[in-house]
Chains A and B, each alone.
Chain A
Amino acid sequence: MTDKLALSLTVNGERHDVLAPAHRTLLDLLRDQLGLTGAKKACNAGICGACTVLLDGEPARACLCLAANVGDRPVTTVEGLSPGNSLSAVQRAFVDTGAIQCGFCMTGMIVSATALLDELPDPDVGQIREGLSGNLCRCSGYVKVVEAVQLAARYRREEMR
């Protein structure tokens, strides 16, 4: 229906050459064209955080990024946090604390937690709550999510040793 642009994106370290119209969001492109369905579409308005990805290392709403505007900035999705069969420290901590219930928000939550720990390796409870404040969860009440990030910080410190 509309003219498509030839885009070249680097997602999870892999280059993808795709055609997409100018209005295509990064979220739709990831999910529908690249088959990366880890980022979820729960509001498509930037409120809920379920589609959070890392754009050039910073947390971003994939639903509020146009794919055309990504350019050469690398994109990391939840699938890119755990190469191969391994789990990242954050993913391991979310599993181990039992923070994951329905899981629909959790991929975005885990990406946000990863960004938070990249910036603040040893956050206190207030900083964790602030860092995850843009990721809505309807199941957990956030208590175990905060505990998961505390545990993830510990796992990361242990990995560094």
Chain B
Amino acid sequence: MNKPLGADPLEGAIGLSLPRLEALEKAVGDARFVEDMTLPGMLHGAVLTSPHAHARIRGYDASAALALPGVKAVVTGEDFETRYMGLVVKDETALAKGKVRYIGEPVAAVAAVDQETARAALHLIEVDYEELPAVFSPEEAMAPGAPLLHEGYGSYFKIFDAVHEGNVLAESEIVGGDPDGAFQGADHVFENVYELSAQYHAYMEPVAALAQVDRDGRVTVWSSTQSVFRTQANIAESLGIPMARIRCISPRIGGGFGGKSEATVQPAAVLLAQKTGRPVRIALSRDEDMTTMRSRHPARLVCRTGVMADGTIVARSLDVLMDGGAYADDSPAVMMFAMYFGCGPYRIPNYRLSGRAVYTNKLRAGAFRGFGNPQGSFATESQMDEIAEALGLDPIDFRLKNALQPGDRWIDGHAIDSCTIRDCLEALRDGCDWTARRAQAAARARPGRRRGIGIAAVAHICGFMATSAFVRLLEDGSVALNTGAVDIGQGSSTALTQICAAALGLSPEQVRCVEADTDASPYNSGTNASRVTYMVGRAIGEAAEVVRNKILEHAGELLEAHPGDLELQPGGKVGIKGVPGKTVSFQEVSIRAHWGTGGPIMGSGSLVFEAGEMDPKTALATGFMSFNACGAYTFGAQAVELEVDEVTGQVEVLEVWSAHDVGRAINPGAVDGQIQGGVVQALGYALTEEMVWQDGRLANPSFMDYKIPGSLDVPHAIHAIVLEHAEPTHPFGAKGIGEPPIVGIAPAVANAIRQATGKRLRRSPMTPERVFRALADEGDGVGIDWPNGQA
């Protein structure tokens, strides 16, 4: 399996920086996203959202809305039976039923002949609310006597053994070694509090769904989703429709970043289509998307580390508190993921990693690129620098001293097949000319500014859950690849096409990648967890192996040779090993199979990561959803050079280096693009992006007030440093790169600010105001909530 790179001429498709398969149609404006689609007779849907953070719904009066000319239907919680959906905890209904739990929660939906009429009708729907007391922070939610968001939480279906109480929806702990003893024996113990605000996914395409229900009740949904199968499951669960009667299709998707993993407006669109018998399209506006969908979890973390005088880390505790908002969504998993990386890419023998995710009357928080790891790593990687500084050690040397080594195991006893954190740190040190830049930072600063450079190490995982693939040989010898994986823009269809082509010695043009469609495609859990290139690549490897063997059998008959003596040759041919010139083409093989004997050639691959139990000799866990053996570990290291404006506190990032071991770059250009894009999204997270609620109302629900970086806000010099240490479990050695680039940037920024100014920020985003206050000796930002500088 673990061949040297580029050794095999069959694998010419690997390592090519091909443009996206669909780049051309996107460049000319032909790409069809959901809002670009119309169907005959289509109606336009709009969603009425809750004006209250917490209220009981006493009744609805839709008569005035229905009387408006052009309105075809109104649906509310009275239009469906109570059925719950959710990946981890099933606690959400298609629209609010009985209660609303956040401002912006969908309460009713309207279908009308056009968008303006649908929106006008929203104002005419009367909902009778009885307001209830609300909680807006985990602390409020956990206070004695706090109002409960989900009175029936105990009865909800959960996929794990949840420990919960009151509004705490999941509480978990992992303990390994003897943390208490180790802290006592440590020469130094560091303990700090870190906080992070909510980040909005800001995919450029707001969520949208187009639903059609035929006369037999069969449902078809085109939606902006990261998983047609999760969409199918959510519609089935929330509306009680058998999966066999639901078809979900993904047209082009305008980004996701985790925010389109679970249900969006698909159930509401289906309800309207059922009621009207006509196709209905719902496309949220930007402000609706921001107030209604989901965010990255706001978090507060307490990190404690015990070290010996020589810099050896002996103990770590990390306590994670996450604000989950009004519905569980992926909260327990995100919180546990932060815990799972609590020791980072380091050998720490004694640890206590704990976490709580809490319901509050705010927008639900959910999956977002990095999945809890950016929050956890902000705490741990900031503190790594604090420790190094206190001990007088170089930040990279201190990390290397404690770094995991090949052969080491993860905190749960899971073997790390390809452990390359040291390579990444060394590559980063060389790549950014660390020693010189660190030494010259002060001298190179522009007037009125202070310069610094900081780093952070990154550990992540790629993998998770179930995946399958079909590979079919078409009559002319070309290939159809069908995986059910949704390309949300990151380029997976292109990379998977390259993998399939290489597995059969074809060029990418000879492989057709089929778009995800639940009626036609094999199961794929979703475009999440940096998993598609790695997991689907493995499934394609299996499927292609079947196809390859069948091709060799047919070719053996045609060439009158033993299949064992045959070999694939580039371009879709089979030859006899060592006998030049005597070949048969895939087309000849396929025609024989289709029209002569054996039947059409196809292969399938299918796998799931079976979450193993944690090794009790290694660690003990309570309330934890095991991630044991759920994927391949990935490593990286990132550096940020920046300047801080002495007058305003504003941070200007000058240059970024992002070193990642990707196993093998299937499409190097796409790898660079993932790294550059991830870094910029991370810079937004670290510096400007912050969703702010006042009494449960999102105060900045627009791109005017919530600021993602534009081209002038980030450096052009973002250097992707790509390491290729082949991952043995993947047919071509590849690992995922979707998430790692977002993990280490915020702590690297904090560490660079520290070098530049001598001030330590422990609150992200590190807005000009927070940095300004730190410069004025007004603290590290913890407890400085927008807007008044008061906790």
Contact = CB atoms under 8 A, between A and B. Distances in A.
Interface in A68-87: 77-79, 81-82, 87
A53 to B, nearest CB: 11
Given A38-B28, A143-B718, A133 B712 contact: yes
Contacts of A98: 17-20, 23, 669-670, 672-673
Interface in A45-100: 45, 47-48, 50, 77-79, 81-82, 87, 91-92, 94-100
Interface in B12-63: 17-20, 22-24, 26-33, 35-36
A139 B673 contact: yes
B252 interface: yes
B35 A102 contact: no
Nearest to B31: A103
Contacts of B489: 101-104, 139
Contacts of B70: 1
B677 interface: yes
B712 A100 contact: no
Interface string B274-306: 000000000101100000000000000000000
B676 interface: yes
Nearest to B706: A47
A102 B117 CA distance: 31
Contacts of B24: 87, 91, 95
B714 A141 contact: yes
Nearest to A93: B27
Nearest to B20: A100
A130 B678 contact: no
A144 B206 CA distance: 24
Interface stretch (A3-11, A105-113, A153-161): A105-113
Contact of B204 (A95, A134, A137): A137
A87 B26 CA distance: 12
Contacts of B491: 101
A43 B203 CA distance: 11
B77 interface: no
B204 A130 contact: no
A120 interface: no
B28 A91 contact: yes
A104 B202 CA distance: 12
A142 B17 contact: no
Interface stretch (B253-261, B434-442, B768-776): B253-261
Contacts of B202: 138
A85 B648 CA distance: 51
B19 to A, nearest CB: 5
A116 B490 CA distance: 27
Contact of B702 (A37, A45, A107, A110): A45
A146 interface: yes
B205 interface: yes
B131 interface: no
A139 B28 contact: no
Interface residues on B, range: 35 or more
B381 to A, nearest CB: 21
Contacts of A95: 19, 23-24, 27
A42 to B, nearest CB: 5
B707 to A, nearest CB: 9
B249 interface: no
A34 B38 CA distance: 13
Contacts of B669: 97-98, 144
B711 A78 contact: no
A100 to B, nearest CB: 5
B160 interface: no
A82 B18 CA distance: 22
B293 to A, nearest CB: 14
B703 A140 contact: no
Interface residues of A, number: 57
B680 A142 contact: yes
Contacts of B712: 129-130, 133
B148 interface: no
A25 B491 CA distance: 33
Nearest to B681: A138
Interface in A26-43: 31, 36-43
A91 B680 CA distance: 24
A37 to B, nearest CB: 4
B508 to A, nearest CB: 14
Given A95-B24, A136-B703, A77 B29 contact: yes
B203 A141 contact: no
A77 B23 CA distance: 18
A158 B142 CA distance: 67
Contacts of A138: 202-204, 255, 257, 677, 681, 708
A103 B673 contact: no
A115 interface: no
Contacts of B387: none
A1 B703 contact: no
Interface in B558-584: none
B29 A141 contact: no
Most buried by B among A36, A107, A138: A138
Contacts of B204: 40, 42, 48, 50, 102, 104-105, 136-139
Given A38-B29, A78-B29, A94-B23, A125 B677 contact: no
Interface in B653-707: 669-670, 672-673, 675-681, 702-704
B27 A44 contact: no
B116 interface: yes
Contacts of A82: 28
Contacts of B704: 45, 47
Interface in B110-169: 116-117, 120
A25 B285 CA distance: 15
Contact of A129 (B35, B283, B711): B711
Contacts of A48: 204, 703
Contacts of B30: 38
B710 interface: yes
B708 A94 contact: no
B488 interface: yes
B444 interface: no
A121 B18 CA distance: 27
Contacts of B245: none
A132 interface: yes
Interface in B402-452: none
B3 interface: no
A101 B492 CA distance: 10
Contacts of B35: 31, 37, 40-41
A142 B714 contact: yes
Nearest to B705: A47
Contacts of A77: 29
Contacts of B677: 101, 138-141
A103 B254 contact: yes
A117 interface: no
A45 B703 contact: yes
A94 B673 CA distance: 13
A140 B716 contact: no
B23 A45 contact: no
Contact of B252 (A31, A50, A94, A103): A103
10 contacts: A31-B35, A40-B35, A98-B673, A102-B254, A103-B26, A103-B489, A137-B711, A138-B203, A140-B677, A142-B716
Given A37-B29, A42-B205, 19 more contacts: A1-B120, A37-B35, A40-B205, A87-B24, A95-B23, A98-B20, A102-B489, A103-B489, A104-B203, A104-B254, A104-B255, A130-B712, A135-B710, A138-B677, A138-B708, A139-B489, A141-B673, A142-B711, A143-B672
Interface of A: 1, 31, 36-45, 47-48, 50, 77-79, 81-82, 87, 91-92, 94-107, 110, 125, 128-130, 132-146
Interface of B: 17-20, 22-24, 26-33, 35-36, 69-70, 116-117, 120, 202-206, 252-255, 257, 283, 285-286, 488-491, 669-670, 672-673, 675-681, 702-704, 708, 710-712, 714, 716, 718
What are the nearest 6 A-B pairs in CB distance? Answer: A102-B489, A38-B29, A103-B26, A104-B254, A141-B676, A141-B680
